Amino acid sequence: MPRTVDRARLVAQVSAKAAPAPPAETPPSAFVLWCSGNWGYFAALQTVALIGASYNGRLARKRRLEIADINDKLRAMMAKYEGKLGSMDDDDSGPASDALAAAKAALVAGDFDAAAGKFSEAKAIAQKHGDASGTLSGAKGTATALMRAGQLRAAVAELESVVDLAVSEGDSSVYGMLGDAHTDLAELGKAGAYYDKCLAMD
What class, spelled out in words, does domain 67-81+92-200 have in CATH?
mainly alpha
Domain positions in the chain are 67-81+92-200
Cα–Cα dist 138/157, whole Å: 14
Residue 29 has pLDDT above 50, yes or no: yes
CB 165 within 8 A of CB 132: yes
Neighbours of 22 (CB within 10 A): 6
CB 163 within 8 A of CB 174: yes
All residues at 6 or more sequence positions from 93 whose CB lies less than 8 Å from its CB, including other chains = none
Q: Tens of pLDDT along 162-185?
A: 999 999 999 988 998 998 899 889
Global pTM value: 0.63
